[in-house]
Structure 1
Amino acid sequence: MRTPLAPLLTVSLLVLLAGCRRPHSSSQVDAGTPGAAVKGPQGTVTVKGSDTMVLLGQRWAERFMKTHPGAKIQVTGGGSGTGIAALINGTTDIAMSSRPIKEAERQLARQRYPHGPVEVPVARDGITFYVHESNPVDALTIAQLKGIYLGDITRWKDVGGKDAPIVLYSRENSSGTYTFVKDEVLGGEDFTPRAMTMPGTAAVVHAVGLERNGIGYGGSAYARGIKELKVKKDAQGEAVAPTSENIQSGAYPLSRRLFFYLPREAAGIDKEFIDYTLSPEGQQIVLEVGYFPEK
């Protein structure tokens, strides 16, 4: 029995038409249309820690995401200790810290990440002591700052100022700035209970700006609307201002580095972001924010 010709012709025509259609390719999708392929690294990076570094981290993230539309960089504060704890717990990709990681923290991190943590210095800073603009005191020795924050010196007249009580502002104990001052200024001793704890450097600056007898401390980038004190290593030493040159050269007694800590060597989008922070453009942002380049 012969097969009818008409059905065969119909099938052949359908196959021919299907073969003439252009296959859909994702590389041909317009970048402005929904579902378009995005060039460059893609993914989310969480960055958490030092309140001193939050503004800097946010500026880096904003600029990076403008040129890397597939990337999402989430930056939050909470203090250096909080960031390092998040790194140890595996809840952040990058910890920001305004102090070096402690050995105990390093050992805890290694329990989860045998090849970590990895330390990346990203900028330099100087711990500044702030007073009200009307305060006649211009400089203090490290010993005088220690006496003030231990509670041994309680009136401004004892350090060359007015006969008025010293109102103390400090940071929370999860802050890397708090730890730095405790170690480098107080010699490891505890702050006086009279020191009022503030949630961030901006809050310290705001409080000192309102309190004529106040004193506080924090990163130099936040020094707006207050007076920065010069610092002497000792009574016979030179009073050194926290300028860019003095901080970068180490002449200012309370200079420090700012760090990123990672669980392992950076790769992928994490590496792209860190490379950007250390690039000439990233280090220019360091200057714009008020800190000083690492390189």
Structure 2
Amino acid sequence: MNLFKKIIFGAAVMGLMAAGDASAAGKIVIDGSTTVGPIAKAFAAYFHKKTGIDVTVSESGSGNGAKSLINKTCDIADMSRPMEPKEIAAAKANGVNPVEHVVALDGLSMIVHPSNPVAKLTTAQIHDIYLGKITNWKQVGGPNAQIVFVQRESNSGTQECFEKLVMKDDKIAPAAETAASNGAVKSRVASTPNAIGFVGLGFVDKSVKPLIVNGVKPSIATVRNGSYVLHRPLFMYTNGQPKGDVAKFINLPKTPDGKRMISELGFVNK
């Protein structure tokens, strides 16, 4: 395990603290996406070591991150999807001016158990699995086994991206299991031979197998060049243009150390 993957655990402990006053001097409060969480935690530990500034990181989902920014209980909202017009309107009604910062790029990796012989699917097949139309792995060249398909919770930016990129206007079937985080999806798939789920590229490890989608394997290179169809930007939002310590933190993705952390965590520099 590399240095930055080790230090995020220290930041994770800080993330258990309550958000409190987002305007407190000498402190930065971050809330939101579990996908962006590893980047925020690595940045938090690095920033604290460099500056002595305490940075708390909570992972309540992109939707809740937006709510925290709107309610002025965080300085930075981590989001794995853009803020929605209704969220921006609510923010402005509360005197908050959301400013978008793209911190990295990510691939939405479709994952299965390593023992599953299926190595590739099309977006149409994935759509039909989550629609409940394809119910057995033998229908896509796999074993005669019922498919266990896992989704994220409704306030997840990753869920919203999946619905936009794969499901279009169709609803996911009620039979889908729901997991609360990227890590929970990975754990369920890693322990369930017949499961399929989706996670951010940085969460893929040897416990699961990423699928080739539309003939392209998810990787840093294919996300960067756009050939992997299930790709997206990752965001941090601030109230207005950031200043002081928050500005220094937000600018980390532009620095050599920030770029290195993003790469080592499995994400893609923009």
* TM-score, with length taken from structure 1: 0.81
Aligned residue in 2 for 1:241:
217
Cα deviation for residue 96 of structure 1 reads: 0.3
- Choose which of 82, 86, 98 in structure 2 pairs with 1:104: 86
Q: Is the 8 A contact 1:113 1:264 kept in 2?
A: no
5 Å-filtered alignment, 1:192-211, equals 192-211=173-192
The yes-or-no answer on 1:178 pairing with 2:154 is no
In structure 2, the residue matched to 1:37 is none
The answer to whether the Cα contact below 8 Å between 1:50 and 1:78 also exists between their aligned partners in 2 is yes
- The residue that corresponds to 1:129 in the other structure is 110
8 A contact 2:146–2:194 mirrored in 1: yes
Aligned to 2:34: 51
1:27-79 per-position Cα deviation (integer Å, ceiling 9, x unaligned)? xxxxxxxxxxxxxxx6111110001111111001001110101x111111011
CA contact (8 A) 1:113 1:263 kept: no
The whole-number CA distance in structure 1 between the counterparts of 2:64 and 2:259 is 25
Map residues 1-295 of structure 1 onto 2, 5 A cutoff. Answer: 43-69=26-52, 71-113=53-95, 116-224=97-205, 225-232=207-214, 239-294=215-270
Q: Deviations over 1:160-188 (max 9, x none)?
A: 11111001111111110000001110003
* In structure 1, distance between residues paired with 2:91 and 2:226: 30
CA contact (8 A) 2:121 2:213 kept: yes
Q: What SS class does the counterpart of residue 293 from structure 1 fall into?
A: coil
- Between the two proteins, what is the percent identity of the paired residues? 37
Q: Is the contact made by 1:167 and 1:195 (CA closer than 8 Å) also made in structure 2? A: yes
How much has 1:278 moved relative to structure 2? 2.5
CA distance in 2 between partners of 1:210 and 1:276 (Å): 36
In structure 2, the residue corresponding to 1:63 is in which secondary structure? helix
The residue type equivalent to 2:98 in the other structure is P
Unaligned runs of at least 5 residues, structure 1: 1-41, 233-238
Counterpart for residue 22 of structure 1: none
Q: Distance in 2 between matches of 1:184 and 1:111?
A: 30
How many matched pairs? 245
Q: Deviation of residue 121 (structure 1)? A: 0.2
| d(CA) in 1 for partners of 2:191, 2:74 | 36
User: Over the residues paired in the alignment, what is the CA RMSD in angstroms?
Assistant: 1.0
Measure how far apart 1:291 and its partner are.
Answer: 0.3
Compare CA radii of gyration and give the structure with the larger one: 1
The amino acid that maps onto 2:31 is: K
Q: Deviations over 1:98-121 (max 9, x none)?
A: 01111111111111236x210000
Q: Structure 2 CA distance, aligned partners of 1:188 and 1:284?
A: 38
- 1:245 CA displacement: 0.7
Runs of 4+ in structure 1 off by over 3 angstroms are none
In structure 2, C-alpha distance between the alignment counterparts of 1:250 and 1:196, rounded to whole Å: 29
Corresponding letter in the other structure for 2:235: F
1: CA distance, partners of 2:122 / 2:194: 18
> 2:164 is paired with a residue of what secondary structure?
helix
Superposed CA offset, 1:222-265 (max 9, x none): 11211000101xxxxxx000011100011100111000111111
Q: CA offset at residue 131 of structure 1?
A: 0.3
**Shift in Å, 1:129:** 0.5
Looking at structure 2, the residues matched to 66 and 277 of structure 1 have their Cα atoms a distance apart, in angstroms, of 17
Q: Distance in 1 between matches of 2:252 and 2:193?
A: 41
Cα distance in 2 for partners of 1:230, 1:110 equals 42
Secondary structure (helix, strand or coil) at the match of 2:167 reads: coil
